C-alpha cells in the first residue's frame, strides 16, 4: 500500500539508480588495466526527474512509464568522454571513479534517509512510534 506513494517511489528509484551506478563504477575500476577499455557512467538521476512532463502512468510499462520509474528500471549507460586516455588506450581514471563512487554512496544514503523519514512520518500519523 505505502509503496504506491510518490515519496516512497522516488526514494526507492533513487536507491536503485545509485546501485546501478555503483555497479558501473565497479566495472570501470575492475577494468582499469584492460587495454582499450572505455570508462562508462550512468545518466544522472536528476536528469530523469527533470525530464519534461509526461503523462502519468498507472504501472511501469503503461504510456512509457514515469521518468522516475525509468531511472530505477532502465538506467542509461554511456561512455564517459570526460576522462583522458592513458598510455594503454584505456580511459579509466581511478581518481575520477573514486569521486563517482562517493557521489553514488551519498545518493544511496540520501535515498535511505528519505525513505526512513517518510516511514517515521507514516508511523507518527498512524499514532505509532
Question: pLDDT (tens digit, 9 = 90+) per residue, 24-56?
Answer: 999 999 998 888 888 999 988 888 777 665 555
pTM of the model as a whole: 0.74
Q: Are 49 and 71 contacting, i.e. CB atoms less than 8 angstroms apart?
A: yes
Q: What does residue 40 show for φ and ψ, rounded to 5 degrees?
A: -125, 165
Tell me, what's the pLDDT at 106?
A: 95
Q: What is the mean pLDDT of residues 16-26?
A: 93
What confidence tier does 65 reach under pLDDT thresholds 50, 70, 90?
low
| pLDDT > 70 fraction of the chain, expressed in percent and rounded | 73
Q: Are 3 and 65 contacting, i.e. CB atoms less than 8 angstroms apart?
A: no
Amino acid at each position: 500500500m505505502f509503496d504506491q506513494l510518490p515519496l516512497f517511489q522516488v526514494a526507492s528509484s533513487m536507491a536503485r539508480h545509485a546501485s546501478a551506478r555503483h555497479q558501473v563504477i565497479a566495472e570501470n575500476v575492475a577494468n582499469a588495466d584492460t587495454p582499450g577499455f572505455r570508462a562508462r557512467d550512468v545518466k544522472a538521476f536528476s536528469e530523469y526527474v527533470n525530464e519534461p512532463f509526461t503523462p502519468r502512468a498507472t504501472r511501469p510499462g503503461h504510456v512509457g512509464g514515469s521518468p522516475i520509474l525509468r531511472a530505477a528500471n532502465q538506467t542509461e549507460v554511456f561512455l564517459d568522454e570526460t576522462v583522458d586516455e592513458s598510455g594503454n588506450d584505456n580511459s579509466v581514471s581511478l581518481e575520477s571513479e573514486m569521486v563517482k563512487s562517493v557521489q553514488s554512496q551519498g545518493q544511496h544514503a540520501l535515498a535511505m534517509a528519505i525513505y526512513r523519514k517518510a516511514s517515521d512520518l507514516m508511523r507518527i500519523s498512524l499514532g505509532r512510534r
